[in-house]
Amino acid sequence: MALGKLPPAVLSKYLLGMTGAPSSDLVIPPSVGVDFGVVKQGKDFLVVSSDPVTGVAERIGWYAVNVSANDVATSGNRPRFIQSIILLPEGARVGMVAKIAREMHRTAAGLGISIVGGHTELTPGLTRPIVVTTAFAFARSYITAADSRDGDTIMITKSAAVEGTAICGSEASKSVRDADRELIRRAKGFYRKLSVVEEAEAAYGTGKVHAMHDCTEGGVLGAVYEMSFASNLGFELLEDRIPVAKETSYVCSRYGLDPLRLISSGTLLLSVRPGAEEEVAGAIRAAGSKVTAVGTFRKGGRALARRDGKREIVGEPPTDELWKLVDARGAW
C-alpha cells in the first residue's frame, strides 16, 4: 500500500466492521470521509475526533491541536477538550518534549480548549516525533461530511494547500539555497492559517450549510472526493476557480507538487444550499476568512475540470503530494 491514508475499499473491508461491542448510544459510527464519531448523551451529543501529525516536526504541537480541533469543528461545534499521545524518537532531549508541550498549551488556550490528559514516551524506531490528539465537543446538533446534497455548491475557505505550504516553506528555508527568501518566509507563516474553528462555527450558524470537511491529507481534491464518497454523490470541481496563493505556487513548483493534492488543513470545505452562497460567504468573511465557490456536488461521476478545458476523471482518492518528499525511512 502507498504511504498515507488507507484507500476507502481497504477501510470498508477490514476496519469499519471492527467496532467492538454494539451501542445504541453510538449515532455516528466510523465511516469513510466522516471526520468524527458522535455518541448520544441524554439530550446532547458528544463529538469525538482523533488525528495524528506524522509528516512534520517543526511546530508539531501547534499542528497537533489544530488538526483534531478542526475535525470536530466541521460538525458545527467548538471543541472543548483534547487528549494527546506524544511519541518521541530515541535520544530525544527534555527540551523537545518541553517545546511540544508549550506549543500545545498555547494553541489550545488560544482556541479555548482544555488539555485533559494523555501519554508521552520515547519510542524505538522513530526518526522524528509523532503526536496524536483526540478532541471532544458537547453539542445539541451537528452535521457531517456525509450530509451533502445533490446540487449543493462546493465552497472552500482561504486557498489550496495551506498546511502543505507551511511545511514546504519550512523545509525550503533549510535546504533550498537559491530560494526567494521573502516568498519562503511568507510560506512558512501559513501555519498561522491552520485553524478552521471560527469559520466553521460561523458557517454552521447560517443554517445553510449541509456538510463540512477539513481539507487534510490529499488536499482540496482529496477532501472533495471524501465528502462525495461519504454522501454517495459525484462532483464537478473547477480548477480555475480554486484559489492558489503565490507562496503555494512557488513552493510547489520548487518541489514539483500539485497544490490541489497537497495537505491543506486550514482550508474548510463546505457543501452549501444552492442560492445561499452569499449568506454563507458573508458569515465566513465576518469570521475573518475568505471563501470561494469552486464546483458542484451532483449525482454521477467525479471530475476535475482542468484549466486547459480537459476533464480529469477522479476514480480514487489522491495520494498526498507531501509523501513525495519523504523517503523510505520516513525522513525528509
Print the domain residue range for 122. 8-13+23-139
285 vs 40: CA distance, rounded Å? 33
- pLDDT tier, 3 (very low <50, low <70, confident <90, very high otherwise): confident
Q: Which residue among 139, 169, 194 closes a domain?
A: 139
The closest of 317, 213, 321 to 263, measured between CA atoms, is 321
The residue type found at 310 is K
Examine the domain organization and report whether 268 and 291 are in the same domain.
yes
Q: Is residue 18 part of a domain?
A: no
* CATH number, residue 46: 3.30.1330.10
Dihedral of CA atoms 153, 203, 267, 40 in degrees, nearest 10, equals: -100
Examine the domain organization and report whether 199 and 95 are in the same domain.
no
How much is the pLDDT for 133?
Answer: 98
Examine the domain organization and report whether 135 and 158 are in the same domain.
no
The closest of 293, 38, 76 to 199, measured between CA atoms, is 76
Cell readout for 140 is 445539541
How many domains, in total, are found in the chain? 2
Examine the domain organization and report whether 157 and 293 are in the same domain.
yes
pLDDT in tens, 166-225: 999 988 777 666 668 889 999 999 999 999 999 999 999 999 999 999 999 899 999 999
pLDDT in tens, 175-192: 666 668 889 999 999 999
Examine the domain organization and report whether 180 and 135 are in the same domain.
no
Examine the domain organization and report whether 203 and 162 are in the same domain.
yes
Report the 10 Å Cβ neighbour count for 123.
13
Examine the domain organization and report whether 274 and 197 are in the same domain.
yes
Q: Is residue 52 part of a domain?
A: yes
pTM: 0.92
Q: Is residue 54 part of a domain?
A: yes
Q: Is residue 120 part of a domain?
A: yes
- pLDDT tier, 26 (very low <50, low <70, confident <90, very high otherwise): very high
How much is the pLDDT for 245?
Answer: 98
Examine the domain organization and report whether 160 and 259 are in the same domain.
yes
Please, is 166 exposed, middle or buried when counting C-beta atoms within 10 Å of its C-beta (0-12, 13-18, 19+)?
A: buried
Q: Does residue 22 surpass a pLDDT of 50?
A: yes
Examine the domain organization and report whether 179 and 295 are in the same domain.
yes
How much is the pLDDT for 5?
Answer: 84
How much is the pLDDT for 274?
Answer: 98
Report the 10 Å Cβ neighbour count for 61.
24
Q: Is residue 271 part of a domain?
A: yes
Examine the domain organization and report whether 221 and 107 are in the same domain.
no
For residues 91-103, average pLDDT: 96
Report the 10 Å Cβ neighbour count for 5.
18
Q: Does residue 328 surpass a pLDDT of 50?
A: no
Q: What is the CA radius of gyration of the chain?
A: 19
Q: Which residue among 139, 161, 182 closes a domain?
A: 139
> What stretches of the chain adopt beta strand conformation (E)?
26-28, 37-41, 44-53, 81-89, 114-123, 130-139, 153-157, 209-214, 234-238, 268-272, 291-298, 302-305, 311-313
Q: Is residue 289 part of a domain?
A: yes
Examine the domain organization and report whether 129 and 193 are in the same domain.
no
* Spatial strand order in the sheet of 234-238: 209-214, 268-272, 153-157, 291-298, 234-238, 302-305, 311-313
Q: Is residue 2 part of a domain?
A: no
* Whole-number percent of the chain with pLDDT over 90: 80
Dihedral of CA atoms 89, 68, 198, 236 in degrees, nearest 10, equals: 110
- pLDDT tier, 327 (very low <50, low <70, confident <90, very high otherwise): low
Examine the domain organization and report whether 45 and 191 are in the same domain.
no
Q: Is residue 31 part of a domain?
A: yes
End-to-end Cα distance, the chain? 20
* CATH number, residue 167: 3.90.650.10
| Cβ contact 135:46 at 8 Å | no
Instruction: Tell me the average pLDDT of the chain.
Output: 93
9 vs 11: CA distance, rounded Å? 6
Report the 10 Å Cβ neighbour count for 331.
9
* Spatial strand order in the sheet of 114-123: 26-28, 37-41, 44-53, 130-139, 81-89, 114-123
Q: Which residue among 139, 167, 186 closes a domain?
A: 139
